[in-house]
Amino acid sequence: MHIHILGICGTFMGGVAALAREAGHRVTGCDAGVYPPMSDQLRALGIELIEGFGAEQMALQPDVWVIGNVVSRARLADGSPKFPLMEAILDAGAPYTSGPQWLAENVLQGRHVLAVAGTHGKTTTTSMLAWVLDACGQQPGFLVGGVPMNFGVSARLGEGKAFVIEADEYDTAFFDKRSKFVHYRPRTAVLNNLEFDHADIFDDLKAIERQFHHLVRTVPASGRVVVNGLEESLTRVLHQGCWSEVCSFGSAVSDFTAEGEPHDFAVQRNGRPVGRVQWALSGVHNQLNALAAIAAAEHLGVPPAEAAAALGRFQNVRRRMELRGSVARAGGDITVYDDFAHHPTAIRTTLDGLARRLGTPRGRILAVFEPRSNTMKLGTMKSQLPWSLENADLAFCHSGGLDWDAAEALAPMGARAAVAANIDTLVQQVVQAARGGDHIVCMSNGGFGGIHERLLKALKT
């Protein structure tokens, strides 16, 4: 089969492309601004990439067109279609489907699907779960919205019955406004946490809770719903109806709990010690992610002690507090990290985890971030930014492209916050403020203009 993927360079659609290629299909694709690292990974797999969404691609005549949710029926100012290829596909009556639907029909059918959903931690927890199953001999397939360092790839078919997938609540495609995860029909569903997000497509938290309940409805009676016992929103989801075994984690009365610091803790099952996790990760959020992965792996027969031991060898995911480099200075090295945090809660948990790991006394934490997600661009959560940055000694915000006043939003932080409309000015601000022993955390769900390397270069001069 020949499939042509529109929007192939996104992490999810790129993963679909890699799985299709591994399954023996001919895969081609297109995107606007075909960009690395996904473009490099796809070309290494022998996948032809085309720049743009021109209608001339109809000449490829694939068996099916797979449509990413970057594609819409939008029109440009002159009235012409923004995605002429999509218009040509519709005019021709050619066969098309969404990425999640293609995945469900061609990869997930007949597998034990373990789907990891939640506002935060999906990528990390999916990676943890895939690693635990792999380390315990189950050879799972997986599709992750990032690159787990234990595997070096974001997706593989796997030889075992298990398939672990990051289950996103964002909509499927312009013609299918359901959340992606309703297509996956998991036997094991992880509900990691749930907050308001994606303000561009959801009106309120209740609307997202409804989508999460749609996921719960698809889990069979013999399945398991692994749920964060600390989240009132998830309690409301389950109160709408649940027909499967529920296994909770995190709260004092949950099935799985942790005793100890996030980097070294005992895992307890119904109050009884069943394993210990000792690793390089930090933050209570990662401790909770670990409990979720252990509870999900147990559903496939992995003893918690073995799962905990495997997590001791977990190497995290690229762009999750990834060390990008350090520069020697009097008073200690200045260290630069890259993190994907793009929501106020994610920013706060990232900085809290670093502060806990460093202990006291410690060097300063400098938070450098850009509000780049659709929700943050809309300004829906701007009032939460000072709260999210409480653990930062200094904060630097890239305000370029925002329709709201970042300086006003950060005013409660006083002199601890600075704003810059372009990356060059932002780099100058950070370099002028930095001193020996500082920890600089760059947070964005995009490339952030290569700020990590630019900071390291500027700090060396």
CB 404 within 8 A of CB 375: no
133 and 280 assigned to the same domain: yes
Rounded Cα gap, residues 438 and 66, in angstroms: 46
CB 34 within 8 A of CB 49: yes
The answer to whether residue 400 sits within a structural domain is yes
Output the known binding site.
118-124
149 and 272 assigned to the same domain: yes
* DSSP assignment of 158-183: -SSSEEEEE---SEEETTEEEEGGGG
Rounded Cα gap, residues 244 and 189, in angstroms: 10
143 and 194 assigned to the same domain: yes
67 and 183 assigned to the same domain: no
The number of domains in the chain is 3
Maximum average pLDDT range among 18-22, 281-285, 337-341, 447-451: 18-22
70 and 122 assigned to the same domain: no
Please write the tens of the pLDDT for every residue from 45-83: 999 999 999 999 999 999 999 999 999 999 999 999 999
Q: State which H helix or E strand residue 113 sits in.
A: strand 112-117
Query: Which of residues 98, 126, 143 is at a domain's end?
Result: 98
Output the known binding site for ATP.
118-124
The answer to whether residue 79 sits within a structural domain is yes
Higher-scoring residue by pLDDT: 371, 269: 269
94 and 115 assigned to the same domain: no
Rounded Cα gap, residues 205 and 269, in angstroms: 31
- Judged by average pLDDT, the poorest of 144-148, 235-239, 377-381 is 377-381
Alpha-carbon Rg of the chain, whole angstroms?
A: 22
284 and 384 assigned to the same domain: no
The answer to whether residue 289 sits within a structural domain is yes
Sign, Cα dihedral of 138, 141, 144, 148: positive
Nearest to 190 by CA among 289, 276, 313: 289
The answer to whether residue 126 sits within a structural domain is yes
CATH, residue 408: 3.90.190.20
Query: Which of residues 98, 124, 151 is at a domain's end?
Result: 98
pLDDT grade, residue 39 (50/70/90)? Answer: confident
The answer to whether residue 105 sits within a structural domain is no
163 and 223 assigned to the same domain: yes
Rounded Cα gap, residues 100 and 178, in angstroms: 11
Rounded Cα gap, residues 323 and 359, in angstroms: 18
pLDDT grade, residue 448 (50/70/90)? Answer: confident
306 and 326 assigned to the same domain: no
Maximum average pLDDT range among 9-18, 213-222, 416-425: 213-222
Please write the tens of the pLDDT for every residue from 104-127: 999 999 999 999 999 888 999 999
149 and 58 assigned to the same domain: no
Q: Which tokens hold the place of 157?
A: 């078919």
306 and 350 assigned to the same domain: no
Average pLDDT, integer, range 183-188: 98
Average pLDDT, integer, range 165-185: 94
The residues facing 164 across adjacent strands are 114, 142
Q: What is the structure's pLDDT at 36?
A: 65
Q: What is the structure's pLDDT at 37?
A: 66
Domain, as residue range, for 253? 110-311
Angle between helix axes 344-358 and 284-298 (nearest 10 degrees) is: 100
CB 17 within 8 A of CB 65: no
Q: State which H helix or E strand residue 190 sits in.
A: strand 188-191
Q: State which H helix or E strand residue 275 sits in.
A: strand 272-278
Nearest to 51 by CA among 63, 40, 39, 59: 39
Distance from the Cα of residue 337 to its chain's centroid: 17
The answer to whether residue 316 sits within a structural domain is no
Nearest to 454 by CA among 433, 418, 420, 424: 424
Higher-scoring residue by pLDDT: 400, 254: 254
The answer to whether residue 317 sits within a structural domain is no
CATH, residue 81: 3.40.50.720
Average pLDDT, integer, range 399-426: 91
> Whole-model pTM?
0.81
306 and 191 assigned to the same domain: yes
- Judged by average pLDDT, the poorest of 131-140, 198-207, 264-273, 356-365 is 198-207
> How many other CB atoms sit within 10 Å of the CB of residue 295?
26
CATH, residue 258: 3.40.1190.10
Evaluate if residue 205 carries a pLDDT over 90.
no
Query: Which of residues 52, 68, 98 is at a domain's end?
Result: 98
